[in-house]
A and B are shown apart, each in its own frame.
Chain A
Amino acid sequence: MQENHASQGLRERLVVVGNGMAGIRTLEDLLAKAPSRFEITVFGAEPHPNYNRIMLSPVLAGEKTFEQIVLNDRAWYEANGITLLTGDKVETIDRAKRTVTAMSGRTVGYDKLLLATGSTPFIIPVPGADLPGVVGFRDLADVEMMLEAAGKGGRAVVIGGGLLGLEAANGLKVKGMEVTVVHLMPTLMERQLDRSAGALLQHELERRGITVLTGADTAEILGNSCVTGVRLKDGQELPADLVVMAVGIRPNTELGKAAGLACGRGVQVDDAMTTSDPAILAVGECVEHRGLTYGLVAPLFEMAKVAADRLAGGVDSAYTGSVTSTKLKVTGVDVFSAGDFSGGKDCEDIVFRDAARGVYKRIVVKDSRILGAVLYGDTKDGAWYFQMLKDGEDVTAVRDTLIFGQGFGADGAANPNAAVAALPDTAEICGCNGVCKGTIVKAITEKGLSSLDEVRAHTKASASCGSCTGQVEQILALTLGDGYAGESKAKPLCKCTDRTHDEVRRAIATLELKSIPDVMQRLEWRTPDGCHHCRPALNYYLLCQWPGDYKDDGRSRFVNERMHANIQKDGTYSVVPRMWGGLTTAQELRAIADVVDKFAIPTVKVTGGQRIDLFGVKKEDLPAVWADLNAAGMVSGHAYAKGLRTVKTCVGSEWCRFGTQDSTGLGVQLERLTWGTWTPHKVKLAVSGCPRNCAEATIKDLGVVCVDSGYELHVGGNGGMHVRACDLLCKVETEAEVMEYTGAYMQLYREEARYLERTAPWLERVGLDYVKTRLVDDPEGRKALNARFLFSQSFSQDDPWAERASGAVDRHEFTPLAQVG
């Protein structure tokens, strides 16, 4: 039939279904190659000529009008002899007769058919999803509906924190709505951005007044005749006048499927963009090629080129798949991502963070080639990286300065000192304290300063968050020349950073950093997610700084603290229930005996900490063992924690003929006060009833020795590897004072010791006198420390075993994912 036409000199008939970006781009390319080969008819379901769908976001945000985004107006179709049938959806294809029939009843015959039906927003199938006021974000009609809703003000909930959802959220916010983004995953745009960039983006959106809920799953859309809100699976209800669903797209395959074309997720095509029927081609988002579907225009345009060439009679052109890059179109937020940034073996991560400018860049390099890139805050080199990525260019020559971008090195700025030298005197170096370069140089020359500490003392530069420390050192080096000896640097926290523990802690407080990714970004970590040294430390510092506010990161805890049990060399665990002050009862012992029998626990041992340890418990038995112990009133003994371990006691005045005070009772009180706390390293207390000291109180982190006239408080002792006897802090008269001093001492240690520094080395570092000035000489300060300790304890005294035994927390830790074979 086709040959017939050609031999009769008639033009072949091409019908295009879908008047969108891919279909019309194919026509443009085709017209350029073979302007008069086809008699062309285009069906479009939308009532508009072809427009730039991408630009709907700026239309929503009021930055563009619809007229400005039209790509081809009706005159263009006319000029090219194309019949355009808008507002008429094609409903069937008759492949035998080679005709299509549209909603209007119109039937048009074809020799070649091009499917370019795009995709539709995926609407999650929750109750209420079909209520008026629930809208996708796909076409002009959706935008018009959103603009109408926004005109009335009120609240919008956007479901989905991907590209489309965030552009919708931003647009609606700009238009005056109160906007909440509900996102299932822990970070925004997780498919395009890594966690660092995702967190930065979230902060920026929050700064703009958009509420972002991550890890939030929608249960139901509320409302009777129209939307009134959204209920999440955790029970939270969000009032809403408009709900935008932007959780993903689904290729439009109905037409092709109904016609019997091979379809998977999309209409399947080969490298010639031809479907299983040689007379039918397909392009755009409706297509599945080599198992992949695409949702961005760049690949669609590549497909269009091949389809056009094939339609024009070409035989060689082939589409072989695309590498994609993404940019978010929210004015003032620069986000770029491309390729595969997941890394893996032999991959190198090059990370650059410039906290002051809010910049984060990560390039993944493998075998000297760029595999992927994520840029936040400074995306001007995105295209450069993307080109090298697509070309598979060898980057060895530029490897060292790659991360600084294309312009780098051109002006000889490769030496970082040169960059600082080039700064004018008025350039601000220390943002926290507003100190300019000139001020620092002047202080160095006039006052004869020669070290970082002196500069800090005289100018305050780098004395707060410390993020300008490197620049201040460069200024010292530049000003003093060879006269600058450099810093005898305190040891950095770990290899991921140059900063010391103290600098990091100070920055967490002064910059109000509230999450691990925040700290890593602001303090310019060199690795994407740290290592086993820094992550537990940061988790502790954040927990200590923001009690009740910071959400503990289990993935940054050593296994014992994550599992709430001590791992043994064969991978089983030991379980130590708390025995307050070393006391137990027949009922507790019976419960322990029952647990041992029931779970066939191989070893039971009395510990050096005056309690009972059950060894060899299988991981999957832990929750059940805990449940049984809980039932008898026992809780975790935290034998695994950088936290309070035991309070050892002796019998004291209740029974002992030498006892001066109730050492057992006081020990129980102290354990009730301090259990559950997280500390830089483990903490052990003891109370002895007289100076015979049977509870070995003078080698404990805090030991109380009871005497006739009161209580001696001993601090900074250690058994273990380097035995250190305590120093006497002071003597007090009442139990209440013991309690207050203990709380204050714990808090001082919590706030000022470095992670993994026990009280003994801490005390040696800061000196007994310092601790005395804070606790003994300053009653107000002591009370304040104690108050902060009690406040923090109000969040930490939940039994971690009970939470897990009930199955509510971390269930996945205890069960295998699967059993095969």
Chain B
Amino acid sequence: MLVFRRQQGESFRVGESVEVRILQVGRSHVKIGVIAPREIEIYRTELPNLNRQAVVRDWKDPAVRERLQGVLGGLKAPGREG
């Protein structure tokens, strides 16, 4: 892995077509801007994991239904009122 330091406002390139800019550095977060051609898909590496984590097995199982209904209890559910 290549490791180097950049400051807020600085950038670096990956190949000819991709530029990564450090927009803002916070206490625990870094805001990053990426300039790349449209055909290059950019996504956060956690996205595949998030989708896999969301998959439920056997929604007809009462325990799973209970968890699904548990989500609704905290929502205002504007669609269900009027």
Same complex origin of A and B: no
Interface positions of A (Cβ within 8 A of B): none
